[in-house]
Amino acid sequence: MIHSLFLVNASGDIFLEKHWKSVVSRSVCDYFFEAVERATEPENVPPVIPTPHHCLINVLRQRIYFVAVIQSEVPPLFVIEFLHRVVDTFQDYFGVCTEAAVKDNVVVVYELLEEMLDNGFPLATESNILKELIKPPTILRTVVNTITGSTNVGEQLPTGQLSVVPWRRTGVKYTNNEAYFDVVEEIDAIIDKSGSTITAEIQGVIDACVKLTGMPDLTLSFMNPRLLDDVSFHPCVRFKRWEAERILSFVPPDGNFRLLSYHVSSQNLVAIPVYVKHNISFREGSSQGRFELTLGPKQTMGKAVESVLVSSQLPRGVLNANLSPSQGTYTFDPVTKLLSWDVGKINPQKLPSLKGSMSLQTGASKPDENPTINLQFKIQQLAVSGLKVNRLDMYGEKYKPFKGIKYMTKAGKFQVRT
């Protein structure tokens, strides 16, 4: 399946490689570098790149390309999912997945990759199992390993590996039993000049942090489960019960895990939580342009819109922007022509606005098209799709756990055309 894995940084340097079946020359990545050069943005590199003798499948996470080399016929999504699992494992172990973190923990990285793939096929990808096989690095453990020459590899096989629930280790004990669930939704939308929605969809996930003693059996029900479309489950979920009753029934892994991810693509179900009023104009034969922008909340159920960041790529002919924000701060880069406005939190009683003029090159023609506006924002305690958890029940254990549900909506690729 996967023959080799290359990690490529933003500068195009291969800083780590791992081979399973046979050593594949680094020169195979030349096809990947050609695709990077042709792409206008780093995110636009094709995920699957065919070559005469191999196939390169890549993902971009934390400004690092993870490039897998394939020689036989393999479902591409299978490899892409595995690469994302590798990144999530690195983040779980090291806190962040950056080039520096990988280089600082290179021994643990190779140990993890050796356990996650066996002869090129996925073997152990659950964080629980891996942490029993390979202890997460700590300062004390690193010092001891340096002095004694030992490694982070555990002496015993994971206890749950041979059971019917390999994702959960046996003999789990906690003094405080708690289960937390985070419903996080990311909204991708394109809004046209008049404020109408051209396209809108929601990518949602439910992340869990479960610390329960013993072998609990949980059921999670929703107020409106029919909203969920294109659902992808963690292996612990009993799929037949979901199909029959639309209830999630599962024996949870110990610790942090992603319970499910889902997709809401029906536009009539996607509520746009913010609106933008804009007036960006350039006059023919004039060296001045007008820029006016106002933001406001819409369909947020009274929840505050926070961490708002507005960015816009202004036309090349713009030399400078002289703007005054009613709230927050703005920056304009005269080289890249990128305008950024850090708004912060939107106050519905006093809507934030950014107004002023733009200076154009003398004699330059009027720009062919107006710039687009990109938004980033967060809304706490709101799932914009309307998804709500009804109840969480536990069976198989006698204690009463503490349970918590948190909702959050954030912007993905949210674009407003002017």
- Inside any domain, residue 153: no
State whether 372 and 389 are in the same domain: no
State whether 395 and 315 are in the same domain: no
Mean pLDDT, the chain, integer: 88
State whether 128 and 205 are in the same domain: no
Of the spans 185-189, 314-318, 384-388, which averages the highest pLDDT?
A: 185-189
Domain count, the chain: 3
Which candidate, 255, 283, 411, places its Cα nearest to that of 346?
Answer: 411
State whether 234 and 309 are in the same domain: no
Token pair of 174 as six digits: 């906690």
State whether 25 and 111 are in the same domain: yes
pLDDT of residue 145: 59
**Cα atoms in the Cβ-side hemisphere of radius 13 Å centred on 297:** 21
Q: What is the CATH number of the domain that holds 288?
A: 2.60.40.1170
Q: State mean pLDDT over 68-84.
A: 93
State whether 227 and 91 are in the same domain: no
At residue 158, does pLDDT exceed 70?
A: no
CA–CA dist 5, 17 (Å, integer): 6
pLDDT tens digit sequence for 40-62: 888 889 999 999 999 999 999 99
State whether 38 and 132 are in the same domain: yes
pLDDT tens digit sequence for 90-136: 998 998 999 999 999 998 999 999 999 988 888 888 887 888 888 88
pLDDT of residue 229: 78
Whole domain around residue 393: which residue ranges? 178-270+382-416
Phi then psi dihedrals of residue 318, to 5 deg:
-80, 120
pTM of the model: 0.82
CA–CA dist 99, 66 (Å, integer): 12
State whether 241 and 183 are in the same domain: yes
pLDDT of residue 165: 79
State whether 284 and 346 are in the same domain: yes
- Inside any domain, residue 98: yes
At residue 14, does pLDDT exceed 80?
A: yes
At residue 270, does pLDDT exceed 90?
A: no
What's the distance, CA 82 to chain centroid? 15
Instruction: Write the DSSP assignment of 222-286 as a string of letters.
Output: ES-GGG-EEEEE-TTB-HHHHHHHSEEEE-PPSEEEEEEEEEE--GGG----EEEEEEEEE-TT-
pLDDT tens digit sequence for 215-236: 999 999 999 888 887 899 998 9
β-partners of residue 348 are none
pLDDT of residue 21: 85
- Inside any domain, residue 172: no
- Inside any domain, residue 162: no
Opening angle at CA 299, ends 297 and 305, nearest 5:
40
- Inside any domain, residue 77: yes
Which of the four pLDDT bands, split at 50, 70 and 90, describes residue 360?
confident
Token pair of 357 as six digits: 């003029």
Enumerate residues 6+ apart whose C-beta is below 8 A from 253.
Answer: 126, 127, 128, 167, 168, 210, 234, 236
- Inside any domain, residue 158: no
Instruction: Write the DSSP assignment of 176-217 as a string of letters.
Output: S-EEEEEEEEEEEEEE-TTS-EEEEEEEEEEEEEEE-SS--E
pLDDT of residue 130: 84
CA–CA dist 81, 89 (Å, integer): 12
